[in-house]
Amino acid sequence: MLDDLGTESATPWAREKLYQVINHRYVARLPTVITTAWAIEELDPKLATRILDSTRCTALAIIAPSYRGQRTSVKRKAAPPRRGR
C-alpha cells in the first residue's frame, strides 16, 4: 500500500525508486493499493501510465472533504488485476 502518493517532496533518486517499485508490481501483476489527494493529472505522467492501465488496474475516485481542512480530497485506488481474461 502506498498512502498519500505525491505529498512528499522527493529527490530525483526517490522518484526513480518509487517508479521502480510501481513498475515492478505492475509487470508482476501484484496487487497494489495507492491513495492520493491529488488528481491523477497532477501526478508524474510516468507513474500515471502504470496506475491507470485499465487492463490491469481499477481506479476509484472517492470525493470527500479533507480531514486536514485543506483541499478536497480525491483518493484513488489501484485494484489487483482481474483474473480470467
Task: Read off the amino acid at residue 55.
Answer: T
CB count in 10 Å sphere of residue 25: 18
φ/ψ of residue 74, rounded to 5: -120, 115
Span 19-58, pLDDT tens digits: 999 999 999 999 989 888 878 788 888 888 888 888 988 8
Span 71-85, pLDDT tens digits: 544 444 555 555 554
What pLDDT score does 25 carry? 93
What pLDDT score does 73 carry? 46
Task: Give 67: exposed, middle or buried? Use CB within 10 Å, 0-12, 13-18, 19+.
Answer: exposed
What pLDDT score does 30 carry? 92
* Cα–Cα distance for residue pair 54/39, rounded to 1 Å: 17
Grid cell listed for 34: 495507492
